[in-house]
Structure 1
Amino acid sequence: MSITVRPVGYDDQPAYTRLGGEAFGVPDGGRAVPSREEWAAAGFREWGAFDGDELTARLRVYGFTSWFHGAPVSTAGIAGVAVEPERRGSGHLARLFAAALTEAREGGETVSTLYPTAPGIYRRLGYEVIGSFDDVDVPLQNLARVPAPDGVVTRRAGVADFDAVVGVHRAWAARQNGPISRAEKPFWTPPEKFFADYTGVTLAVDAAGEVVGFASWIRGEGYTPATAVMEVDDLIALTPDAARALWRTIGSFSTVVGTARVSTSGLDPAWLVLPDLTSTVHAAHPYMLRILDVAGALGGIESPLEGARVPFAVRGPADLAGAWTLSVADGVTHLEHDPVAVDDAHHERPVLTANGLALLYAGAQSAANLRLAGHLAGPDGYDAVLGALFAGRQVHVRDYF
């Protein structure tokens, strides 16, 4: 067997579409092959593993920016991973990822993310679960008890308010780890299409006239509370009163809608104003992260730990294995590569697995928990500083791909 891994071209699209249908199902009427114009305009990169002329495995890479540690970070988002059932377990996936991630790294993307169907497959490649994008069902009758906001009112948004909506999302996302910036395809949406996709977009406006929150929602069918469900794609608030105002607006449908299906993640601060947190997870989508460039990802992060200095090492895939010293000077982190073998470094400095590095960078787990999970070994004298360097922001995601 001679396997070739290469970018997928338009002439490969029939086979690429067929393999995707085998993995993810085929809708009624079949799945259409995109036109050459549609494919060229989509803005993603596709890779395939070929046995001769036969496509045996595939994946897609979205290039975008996501927020980590207060800055947009160049990200390779992996999606549409599929392997021909007769070839599963034959190493096709590892070869495919090696080629796609090498291209991503060489193109300046410093981290990679994906939504797995089976996390264990991707853990072997250096990815780890850092959070989850969830659809959560909230009974609307409970929202009637949300206290009235002080000095914040709601109004319907229009196309002229698009920049204000984008500004609220950006202000919120910059305070988290993980959100996609929505600045690039396919997550950037033209204003007219953005508003056409929803029944309504509601703004929360403070006494000074500043937009401090928004909710985008689809009303759904029916008017019987026992069965009617409305979808809330975003409910993002920059103040507690903005959150109260938006929840109360959604709750005003309670006489005709019984449930709001809200897209959220983690313990969302907008939910802290609710007097009743009764909810049901309708669907959960774990989110995984892998570091592609250690120095590129961990360097240049703003930090108040002036003068901190931590040696560490990473063991795992060859592209990540190595030893570094991280220091903080002039308010930002700096990385210096240390030319020592990782096995030797194990005896003198903390050693992270590739998975542990992802968890640490995202602020998803403490150093103590990384040790419990087997992702951090070696001396523990640096653990407090190592954890503090990457703490302070929760992991939140709002876009599925």
Structure 2
Amino acid sequence: MKEQGIRRLTDKEVDDSIRLSSFAFQFSLNPEVWEQRRKSLKPDRVWGYFIDGRLAAKAAVHPMRIWLNGRSIPMGGIAGVATWPEFRRQGLVRQLLLHVLGVMRDEGVTVSFLHPFSIPFYRKFGWEVVADAVVLELQPEKCGGFAMEGGMRRIERPLEELGLLHRLRGRYAARFNTMNDRDADWWEERVLANECCCYIYEDASGEPQGYMLFTLKDRLMHIAEWVYLNREAREGMLAFIANHDSMADKVQLKCSANDRLPFLLHDPRFTQTRMPHVMGRIVDVQSFVYAYAFRPGNGPTRLRLRITDEAAPWNDGEFLLSVDADGRGSLTPAAAGSPDAPALACHIRALSAVLLGDQRPASLYEDGLFTGDAAAAELLESRVPATPTNLIDFF
């Protein structure tokens, strides 16, 4: 009988992990890049399924943080999920995903995100689409007609201005759900590691109000990131983009599905491609609700909630959701609650999409993804903040 088991990788197995990723995701690395990957890979974040001492499948869990209703909370980012072909269709990834869900729960991580290779596959394990991305492709002149009241200051060495960039993005990201709360390593290794142009927008008084990271090559202006704290900064940077009409035939940028930018442009008739961007799920629903910032109300709200979650049995059951007037919530087994409270039933996928901000309770009730009492759906609708989602960095 084959010896099988799941454990964290060791330093000696870093090359095995890179080799499996290279095969599964079809990329090759020269010796210099391979060595860089070896130094950056943290084996204690990678869980492997081993068969007779050989790495058969793996999944990494990156400790990250996301913004949710104005608060920064821990998030487990699932990445690098891969299996050697001779071990596929044997349920190894299923066992890895179930295992890391338990590990995240034990470590106090209440939510997990991933970028899926297949949405139906990860839906089987409770993840749901929680943010869409829209790629805009337009001519620079489409951004014309806006005034620049302040000015754009070029940053020659962005790493020397990292503190400023981090503060600007932090203030911007806190307004949304699902955006990651970056640390210094993320900035240095993933954002500013590649050569790009960096500009800060400053208002008339010299106060920084936004920034833009972009590249310009082969008459394509690719905007990797832009952040604005107010209307003036947004319009000033749109004017800045329009001023590149002699250097670029096309501008490409990615924004969230909630971004009103196309509507604000004089002529929004250009290519807009919308695609699911990230999937998320609640890992531990009771702990998640306890830390969640519900919308304040005139008094307490109570409703019964029947949650289905095949992959995380600790979430599967009937609960009493209580939210006080200040928006503090708790979720307790229904046996301890009031039997006369209005009731709803849903899958953990639907609940995750609602509480992470991508969907509304009333809409999913109308669509049949929440079932039960209409009064319960109305109560939940009234207490879930309408904080829009935005894009998390790819990981």
Sort the TM-score into its range (normalised by shorter chain).
0.7 to 0.9
RMSD: 3.0
SS of equivalent to 2:187: coil
Q: Is the 8 A contact 1:113 1:289 kept in 2?
A: yes
Q: Which residue of 1 aligns with 2:214?
A: 217
Range with bigger deviation, 43-52 or 247-256: 43-52
Distance 1:248 1:67 in 2: 30
What's the CA shift string for 1:199-232, capped at 9, x where partnerless? 3212222233321111111122x3xxxxx21221
Q: Which residue of 2 aligns with 1:183?
A: 183
Q: Which residue of 2 aligns with 1:154?
A: 152
Q: Which residue of 1 aligns with 2:199?
A: 202
Range with bigger deviation, 128-137 or 62-71: 128-137
Q: Which residue of 2 aligns with 1:238?
A: 229
Letter in 1 for 2:316: A
Identity %: 22
Stretches of structure 1 that go unaligned for 5 or more consecutive residues are: 223-227
Distance 1:44 1:279 in 2: 46
Q: Which residue of 1 aligns with 2:277?
A: 286
Distance 1:180 1:371 in 2: 29
2:28 corresponds to 1:27: yes
Change (3 A) 1:356 1:273: same
Q: Which residue of 2 aligns with 1:304?
A: 296
**1:324 counterpart (303, 319, 322):** 319
SS of equivalent to 1:381: helix
Letter in 2 for 1:290: R
Change (3 A) 1:281 1:34: farther
Q: Is the 8 A contact 1:265 1:398 kept in 2?
A: no
Q: Is the 8 A contact 1:137 1:259 kept in 2?
A: yes
Distance 1:372 1:383 in 2: 9
TM-score between both structures, scaled by the size of structure 2: 0.88
Q: Which residue of 1 aligns with 2:69?
A: 69
Distance 2:184 2:346 in 1: 32
Q: Which residue of 1 aligns with 2:333?
A: 338
Q: Is the 8 A contact 1:146 1:273 kept in 2?
A: no
Pairwise CA distance, 1:370: 2.0
Q: Which residue of 1 aligns with 2:306?
A: 313
2:371 corresponds to 1:377: yes
Q: Is the 8 A contact 1:303 1:332 kept in 2?
A: yes
Q: Which residue of 2 aligns with 1:393?
A: 387
Pairwise CA distance, 1:380: 2.0
Change (3 A) 1:73 1:32: same
Change (3 A) 1:119 1:201: same
Change (3 A) 1:316 1:196: closer
Pairwise CA distance, 1:88: 2.7
Letter in 1 for 2:346: L
Q: Which residue of 2 aligns with 1:362?
A: 356
Distance 2:331 2:82 in 1: 38
Pairwise CA distance, 1:372: 4.9
Pairwise CA distance, 1:27: 2.6
Change (3 A) 1:255 1:33: closer
Range with bigger deviation, 328-337 or 59-68: 328-337
Pairwise CA distance, 1:386: 0.8
SS of equivalent to 1:276: coil
Letter in 2 for 1:329: D
Distance 1:196 1:11 in 2: 27
Pairwise CA distance, 1:120: 0.7
Q: Which residue of 1 aligns with 2:98?
A: 98
Q: Is the 8 A contact 2:75 2:113 kept in 1?
A: yes
Distance 1:215 1:257 in 2: 16
Aligned length: 388
What's the CA shift string for 1:275-309, capped at 9, x where partnerless? 22234356845210110121222224152224231
What's the CA shift string for 1:230-288, capped at 9, x where partnerless? 22111121212211111121221111211122132213245553222234356845210
SS of equivalent to 2:5: strand
Q: Which residue of 2 aligns with 1:225?
A: none
Distance 1:368 1:125 in 2: 24
Q: Which residue of 2 aligns with 1:351?
A: 345
Letter in 2 for 1:338: P
TM-score between both structures, scaled by the size of structure 1: 0.87
Change (3 A) 1:282 1:348: closer
SS of equivalent to 2:28: coil
SS of equivalent to 1:386: helix
Distance 1:232 1:205 in 2: 19
Range with bigger deviation, 366-375 or 81-90: 366-375
Pairwise CA distance, 1:359: 0.8
SS of equivalent to 1:253: coil
Letter in 2 for 1:308: P
Q: Is the 8 A contact 1:313 1:352 kept in 2?
A: yes
